[in-house]
Amino acid sequence: MRVLKRIPELACPICKGDLEESECLLCPACGRSYEIHDGIPFLLGDDRGTFAEEIAIQDRVAGEYEEKRYQVAYSRRYHDWWTGRMLAGVNREGRILDNGCGIGVLFKRDFSDRVVGLDISSQMLKRAAKRSDQLVLGNSQELPLKDASFDLVFSRSLLHHLPRPELAVAEMHRVLRPGGEVVLADTHSSIISALPRILARKGERFSGVHRNLTRKVISSWLEPYFQIREVSYFGYLAYPLLGFPDFLDLFRYIPAKPLLETALIFVDEVLSRTPLIRTQSWGIIVKAVKPDLRSNGGTTFRREEAAL
């Protein structure tokens, strides 16, 4: 099936104009053309040089994600639990954008036929292609997607990778329909995460823009566009022990893994509800909704406002 039949939401990343398909994708409005490789449209905008380091890193670690992070049983189950927390209580009935999809953690869910996966790494998408044909290579700060074309944007560990995350948030708002939802999980700035992040940035797996994010900072990006309806925290003991065997696999030395795995997740659930302690987490989840301005006479937001 042709690309535009599979992903009708595609648009020119530069002018957001409609595309035409032949051997490549053409934008009649601005004259640009975009290649298609193995069925995946490559729709990077003009800002590709900014992401060169990040693309190289993600291409390099894609194999480790598939072969270890999401293959080791206890790590896979932990990431499934974490993804489940993100999806709890959000509408999954319409079209879904997995923004920064990596190797495609959403494509094994029962709604995968409604998911479009976008990532900037061709090697991540090469692996995601084993699970879906609704994939696009693109830049989250300049989404190659039509206005108001999705009902849910799912964004897992994306914003801390980006040089201008506020632009990515504005783009999520643009591609959501009125009343659509965004759910994001990202690295949280806390006592337990501060030193490891500093040390990690000295390695080869993280680019210079990587950082932990505070609730205040994330809220400042979201609030011009969305109504935040839920903020929660996750990741205490289980996060470093279960989640990243491709990076640090301490759990392999521990006996009785299934029992301890269950206990670690239970403890994390308790800590996430404990006052004072709950905010000292590795991760943060934020769920928000795009107001339906047609019903309340409000004003619209423009992408360029994110740059102010």
Mean predicted confidence (pLDDT) in 46-67? 87
User: Residue 305 above 90 pLDDT?
Assistant: no
With both helix axes pointing from N to C terminus, report the angle between 257-271 and 73-87 in degrees, rounded to the nearest 10. Answer: 30
d(CA 203, CA 256): 32
Residue 87's pLDDT is 97
Measured at the CA of 168, the angle between CA 163 and CA 169, to 5 degrees, comes to 125
Token pair of 41, please? 């449209």
Mean predicted confidence (pLDDT) in 200-213? 68
Measured at the CA of 75, the angle between CA 235 and CA 59, to 5 degrees, comes to 100
Q: For 268, list phi and psi in degrees, rounded to 5.
A: -60, -40
Higher-scoring residue by pLDDT: 197, 202:
197
Residue 307's pLDDT is 36
Q: How confident is the model at residue 250 (pLDDT cuts 50, 70, 90)?
A: confident
139-143, 166-170, 241-245, 265-269: least confident range: 241-245
Report pTM. 0.90
User: Residue 298 above 70 pLDDT?
Assistant: no
Measured over the CA atoms of residue 232, residue 237, residue 238 and residue 241, the dihedral's sign is positive
Burial class (CB in 10 A: 0-12, 13-18, 19+), 304: exposed
Q: What does the pLDDT look like over 91-117, one tens digit per residue?
A: 999 999 999 999 999 999 999 999 999
Q: What is the average pLDDT value for the chain, to the nearest integer?
A: 90
User: Residue 202 above 90 pLDDT?
Assistant: no
- Is the CB of residue 112 less than 8 Å from the CB of residue 106? yes
61-65, 95-99, 159-163, 299-303: least confident range: 299-303
Residue 1's pLDDT is 80
Residue 122's pLDDT is 96
User: Residue 203 above 60 pLDDT?
Assistant: no
Mean predicted confidence (pLDDT) in 222-228? 97
Residue 256's pLDDT is 72
Residue 253 contacts by C-beta under 8 Å, 6 or more apart in sequence? Answer: none
Residue 283's pLDDT is 96
User: Residue 303 above 50 pLDDT?
Assistant: no
User: Residue 207 above 70 pLDDT?
Assistant: no
Q: How confident is the model at residue 201 (pLDDT cuts 50, 70, 90)?
A: low
Residue 280 contacts by C-beta under 8 Å, 6 or more apart in sequence? Answer: 190, 191, 192, 236
DSSP 8-class letter at 187: E
Higher-scoring residue by pLDDT: 236, 201:
236
DSSP 8-class letter at 170: H
Residue 40's pLDDT is 97
d(CA 76, CA 72): 6
Measured over the CA atoms of residue 127, residue 131, residue 133 and residue 135, the dihedral's sign is negative
Structural domains for the chain:
46-291 (3.40.50.150)
Higher-scoring residue by pLDDT: 247, 136:
136
- Is the CB of residue 15 less than 8 Å from the CB of residue 29? yes
3-state SS string for 66-92 = HHHHCCCHHHHHHHHHHHHHHHCCCCC
